[in-house]
Each structure stands twice: as structure tokens, then as C-alpha cells.
């Protein structure tokens, strides 16, 4: 309530709030005669009657008027103590962000003993612990499944975390870095430098690298185009570069589809994907447990060795 991009909205909210209270107080003041009503006063009959029920114009009860006066007084006190008048923060400097932070800190303090047991364990050791796996799976479902799926096998535009192919490396430290700091993968667009026909040739060559059906004539032409514009990131043999997040094009694993149309779209217009950093949402201990769970998906044999 206290954060505005310009002072105009701040003044607007403050004026509306104060005018609302002032109007209620004015209305009660103008009707103050109801506070001085006497028992001798008669109740006005409106003349409306239906099924034996007569409509009367009765006086406002005293308790109702006192209640609304109390509400107005409460509103003024509240707006002095708490934010509510535009950008005025209140004398208590209360913010919901502080409240959320305190709640999060209290929660972390309660659950920290659960993670203390894993502090001195390596990622492979954590991946072999049944209790840690259950915690890691819950962390994944709560924080990662929205993009990577509940089975971690990804989907269109989201990588599969259960196979052996990693854009930024599949070692425990690589996965932990990805979760902690996030990743930003960018495939630059080449539409301004190559024609759609040239992109089609390159797409056919790329399909051939992973054993997919491809036109041999286009493959020959496409290799020359690939060597000219693609090898800097994907390497001469198409196996990619984890330091850059460039995918391995020799395996039949595709984030955007393996059709020629999809590959041409990628070449001409590029791609821009971002994995959000989790370091502000999860503690270091939670990230280590989550890392162990993800690492274990593609390293089941190594997990068995730890057991």
C-alpha cells in the first residue's frame, strides 16, 4: 500500500480514505437527533402493509450510531499506526513483507533440525538416503514440477532432468549451481545472415547428426552452413558445449521438437530460455537435498553403489 510509482496515486488514495471517514462522521452528526430521541416520540407508519405485516419508519437504535462512531475513531487510529494513507508508512512501520519474512524465518528455524543431519554428507550420499529422497521429491514437486513435470522429464521448452544429457553439466556441483543461481540460455537468431533455404539445409544436417531421416543432398549443403555459423557453440561434431549451455545435437533429445520446421524456426529466430534462481526461495541445505534428488534421477547406478 505504501509503494507507488508517483505521488499522484499516493495523494489520491489518502484523500479517498480520509473523505470516506469524514463523510461517515458528517452523516452521523447530521442525524444526531436520533441520539436524543425520547420515549414519547411516536413511530411513523409508512402506510404499507402486506399479509398482516405493517412497514414502520423506526428510529435508528442508539447502539448502531455509537458503533459507527467507534468505527470512525478506530479507522483514524488505524491509519495513524499502519500504512493506509498513500505512501505514509504509519508510526509502527509495519509491512506485510516484514511479516512474511518473520514467518519464513520461524518456519526455517523449526525445520532446520531435519536438514542438519545432511550437512556433512556429500551429494551422492544424500541421494542414497531414503529420508533425504522423500524430502527432495517434495521440494521438487513444490518448486520445480511446474516446469519440468512431476516426473522431471520436462516438456516442450523445458529440459528432461531424468536422462543423461545436460545443457550445463550433470555433475552434482553443476546441478547445484543451476538450482542456486539459475540459468539463462540464449540461442542467437540467424535470420538476418542466412536465408530460409540455407536454414532448411542446416536443419537437415542437424537431423542427420542424431540419426533422424534427412535429405542427403541438403545434408551436404547443410554441413557447410553448420560449419560456418554453428560450430562456435555446438562444436564441429555437434556435441555441444556445457559451458555455454549449447545442447548436444547428436542425441535424439529435443526441447523444441525435431521436425525441420521447428529446427528452422530455432535457427532463424533463436531461442531464449531462463531458469529462475532458487537461492532466494530455498536455503542452502534445501538446495543440496534437492540437488541430490535430481542428480539421482540420472545416476541410479551410482546411487546403488552408495547403498
User: Does domain 103-182+276-306 match CATH 1.10.760.10?
Assistant: yes
Exposed/middle/buried for residue 144 (C-beta within 10 Å: 0-12, 13-18, 19+): buried
Distance between CA atoms of residues 20 and 26, nearest Å: 10
Cell 550433470 identifies what position?
170
Nearest one of 262, 258, 263 to 213, comparing CA atoms: 258
Q: Which residues contact 189 (CB under 8 A, 6 or more apart)?
A: 268, 269, 270
Q: What is the DSSP string of 165-201?
A: --SS--SHHHHHHHHHH-EEEEE---TTTS-HHHHHH
User: Does domain 186-275 match CATH 1.10.760.10?
Assistant: yes
Same CATH fold assignment for domains 103-182+276-306 and 186-275: yes
Asked whether the predicted pLDDT for residue 31 surpasses 90, the reply is: no
Instruction: Domain ranges for the chain, please list them.
Output: 7-81, 103-182+276-306, 186-275
Residue 108 has what pLDDT? 86
**Averaged pLDDT for residues 53-76:** 86
Read off the pLDDT band of 4 (50, 70, 90): low
37-41, 57-61, 142-146, 231-235: least confidently modelled range? 37-41
Residue 38 has what pLDDT? 46
Whole-angstrom CA distances from 240 to 89, 126, 168, 186 are 53, 30, 10, 14
Q: Which residues contact 279 (CB under 8 A, 6 or more apart)?
A: 180, 181, 287
Q: Which residues contact 174 (CB under 8 A, 6 or more apart)?
A: 166, 168, 242
Is the pTM higher than 0.85? no
Q: What are the cell numbers at 190?
A: 540467424
Residue 43 has what pLDDT? 67
Name 50's bridge partners. Answer: 53
Nearest one of 151, 129, 124, 128 to 140, comparing CA atoms: 151
Distance between CA atoms of residues 167 and 288, nearest Å: 20
Nearest one of 165, 191, 179, 199 to 278, comparing CA atoms: 179
Name 241's bridge partners. Answer: 246
Structure confidence by residue, pLDDT tens digits, 66-82: 898 999 999 999 999 99
Amino acid at each position: 500500500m505504501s509503494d507507488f510509482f508517483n505521488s499522484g496515486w499516493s495523494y489520491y488514495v489518502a484523500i479517498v480514505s480520509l473523505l470516506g471517514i469524514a463523510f461517515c462522521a458528517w452523516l452521523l452528526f447530521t442525524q444526531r437527533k436520533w441520539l436524543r430521541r425520547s420515549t414519547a416520540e411516536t413511530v411513523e407508519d409508512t402506510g404499507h402493509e402486506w399479509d398482516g405485516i405493517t412497514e414502520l419508519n423506526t428510529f435508528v437504535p442508539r447502539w448502531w450510531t455509537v458503533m459507527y462512531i467507534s468505527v470512525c475513531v478506530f479507522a483514524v487510529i488505524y491509519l495513524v499506526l499502519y500504512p493506509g494513507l498513500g505512501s505514509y508508512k504509519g508510526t509502527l512501520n509495519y509491512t506485510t513483507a516484514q511479516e512474511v519474512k518473520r514467518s519464513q524465518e520461524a518456519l526455517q528455524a523449526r525445520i532446520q533440525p531435519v536438514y542438519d543431519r545432511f550437512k556433512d554428507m556429500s551429494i551422492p550420499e544424500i541421494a542414497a538416503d531414503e529420508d533425504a529422497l522423500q524430502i527432495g521429491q517434495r521440494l521438487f514437486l513444490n518448486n520445480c514440477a511446474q516446469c519440468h513435470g512431476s516426473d522431471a522429464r520436462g516438456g516442450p521448452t523445458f529440459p528432461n532432468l531424468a536422462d543423461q544429457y545436460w545443457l550445463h553439466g550433470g555433475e552434482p556441483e553443476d546441478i547445484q549451481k543451476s538450482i542456486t543461481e539459475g540459468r539463462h540460455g540464449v540461442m542467437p537468431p540467424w535470420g538476418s545472415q542466412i536465408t530460409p533455404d540455407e536454414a532448411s539445409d542446416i536443419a537437415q544436417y542437424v537431423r542427420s547428426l542424431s540419426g533422424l531421416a534427412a535429405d542427403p543432398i541438403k545434408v551436404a549443403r547443410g554441413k557447410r552452413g553448420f560449419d560456418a555459423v554453428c560450430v562456435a557453440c555446438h562444436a564441429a561434431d555437434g556435441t555441444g558445449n556445457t559451458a555455454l549451455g549449447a545442447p548436444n545435437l547428436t542425441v535424439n533429445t529435443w526441447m523444441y521438437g525435431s521436425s525441420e520446421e521447428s529446427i528452422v524456426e530455432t535457427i532463424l529466430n533463436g531461442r531464449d530460455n531462463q531458469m529462475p534462481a532458487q537461492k532466494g526461495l530455498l536455503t542452502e541445505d534445501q538446495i543440496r537435498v534437492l540437488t541430490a534428488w535430481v542428480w539421482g534421477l540420472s545416476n541410479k547406478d551410482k546411487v546403488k553403489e552408495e547403498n
